Chains A and B, each alone.
Chain A
Amino acid sequence: MIIVVDPGPLASVQDPFGRPGWRRYGVPVGGAADALSARLANRLAGNDENAALVEVSLGGAAFRIESAGIVALTGGLPATIDGAPAPAAGVRVRAGSLVRLEAGDGVRGYLAIAGGLVVEHVLGSASTELRARFGGHEGRALRSGDRLTIGTAPARPPSRWAGEPRIGPIRVVGGPHPEALAQLVARAWTVAVEADRTGVRLDGDRIGGSGEVASMGLPIGAIQVPPDGRPIVMLADRPVTGGYPVPACVIRADVGRLAQLHPGDEVSFALVSPDDAREAWRAAEASLSQLEPIDDPAGDLGWIGSHD
């Protein structure tokens, strides 16, 4: 069991891929807001990469690992295991260890555990649909005292990540309504307070002349510009359709990095070609695969955990 000691402002059970396939009934895809970080956490723990894990937003969260196992912590929140900084690796922990995810440069952190979390799959996914209140743990955000069941540990060994976090501007490709593309790319933006799993609103020199378009399906990363001229980047929990022009889309390789931005952070966009965007995706996938197996985590890393 994992016991939720403190969920912080928002923690929920998610899986990296969410529940595609139900959007024609209005059901959002959902899943981890920074899916690449979530996939990495599962790989480090030796799990299938779509295993259910915990997503923590903003930090201030603590979890007690009731029985010995292997955990992996990724994303934008600094994490500790019994006070020691967690490496980018699967880490063997003793029964009773305390995992903390603190406030940091990013917004989302991931706690994966070997075996994954066991929750009922609803519409094919373990992820929590927070607004419609289904999936995940009882269809809601985690609360102090919640107990999360852990699945059977996988046969795969844990790994250490040898990749490099990506830096540099957020990259975009042109969207179906290119009229405002030049303004969007030329200007510097600031992340507004309205930033959550649904989307991130941007403040700055507003884009003029934007109207409405016929409601249409939105891919992840689509940047909608409503009539007030403040762009919104659509993320995992976005509604399935939207009725505002989309001058550009954040490329899939960079959607997770955008989901890690805090209100007040500055962001500007670099326009790339669709071919470059697909190449960036292949590079992101390749980076996820830069894993060094840890044959004996107990001997290699030493036992990190409580000693009482």
Chain B
Amino acid sequence: MIRPFGEAALLVEVGDPERAQAVAAALASDRIAGIAELVPGLESVLIDLDPGADPALVASTVQERLEYATPHRVTGRRRTIPVVYGGDHGPDLEEVASLCGMAPAELAERHSALEQRVLFDGFAPGFAYLGTLPPELRVSRLATPRTRTPAGSVAVADAMSGIYPAELPGGWRVIGRTPVPLFDPRRDPPAYLVAGDIVRFEAISAADWDARAIASEDWG
């Protein structure tokens, strides 16, 4: 379903993140006149239009394109993210484990055993929304968000995991921290984790922090 979003944007509602990424990629490769930028979200794609574009015309072009062929699913790379779980690096691990009815070590073990997919990047430069967590690992956001969450914090909220690329305010519960840099505006793409990537967290000890502080070379 395509509907206007303000006077110079369209919202294409597609239902799930994988399809949102696929639709955004397909429309980007078509270079449709009047489209300024495509922003995939969790269940939709925002199409920002050039100020002079006719929204109805672009909407019908997009509609035809999506009916003509099902966009291909975006495939990504496999990424291993080292994490120090708990302690100063993961101040909320104990509470999250308690809410889930398990020991902190078990929660860390189960979280790092998952393959999590990058659903989309949003919130802040390089912030990847990862999903989805099984029901037994889901917790609510903090009642009072932190004013400062350290860079590299690995956090969970509802059905998703996320990693703070920089020190930011945030309401997600922090269970660990990674030394890997996640955003570099001088690289292309500037985000280390992009939609479609499959992420596996690897539990490391705090002593290994420095040795793992460098992202792998295959950033792009």
Residue A215 lies at the interface, judged by CB distance under 8 Å to chain B: yes
Residue A69 lies at the interface, judged by CB distance under 8 Å to chain B: no
The one of A24, A122, A215 that contacts B186, using a Cβ cutoff of 8 Å? A122
B8, A241: Cβ atoms closer than 8 Å: no
B185, A122: Cβ atoms closer than 8 Å: yes
Kindly state the separation between the CA atoms of A190 and B127 in the bound complex, as whole angstroms. 32
Tell me the smallest distance from the CB of B31 to a CB of chain A, in Å. Answer: 13
Kindly state the separation between the CA atoms of A72 and B61 in the bound complex, as whole angstroms. 42
The one of A21, A132, A246, A278 that contacts B125, using a Cβ cutoff of 8 Å? A132
Within 8 A of B (CB), among A121-139: 122-123, 129, 131-135
* A-B interface pairs (CB < 8 A), number: 138
Instruction: Classify the interface of chain A: helix, strand, loop or mixed.
Output: loop
Residue B38 lies at the interface, judged by CB distance under 8 Å to chain A: yes
Of chain A, the residue at the smallest CB distance from B54 is A278
Task: Tell me which of A217, A240, A281, A285 has the highest count of chain B C-beta atoms within 10 A of its own C-beta.
Answer: A217
Kindly state the separation between the CA atoms of A243 and B126 in the bound complex, as whole angstroms. 18
A219, B191: Cβ atoms closer than 8 Å: no
Question: A240-262 CB contact bits vs B (8 Å, 1 = yes)?
Answer: 11010010010110000000000
Of chain A, the residue at the smallest CB distance from B16 is A214
Given A26-B121, A241-B120 in contact, is the A222-B6 Cβ separation under 8 Å? yes
Contacts of A216 in B (CB 8 A): 11, 41-44, 46
Contacts of B6 in A (CB 8 A): 173, 175, 219, 221-222, 249, 251-252, 274, 277
Contacts of B109 in A (CB 8 A): none
A interface residue numbers (CB < 8 A to B): 20-28, 122-123, 129, 131-135, 173, 175-176, 214-219, 221-222, 239-241, 243, 246, 249, 251-252, 274, 277-278, 281, 285
Within 8 A of A (CB), among B101-134: 120-129
B185, A135: Cβ atoms closer than 8 Å: yes
A-B pairs with the 4 shortest C-beta distances? Answer: A217-B46, A217-B39, A249-B6, A277-B7
A25, B189: Cβ atoms closer than 8 Å: yes
Residue B36 lies at the interface, judged by CB distance under 8 Å to chain A: yes
Tell me the smallest distance from the CB of A111 to a CB of chain B, in Å. Answer: 25
Given A20-B36, A24-B195 in contact, is the A241-B123 Cβ separation under 8 Å? yes
B121, A218: Cβ atoms closer than 8 Å: no
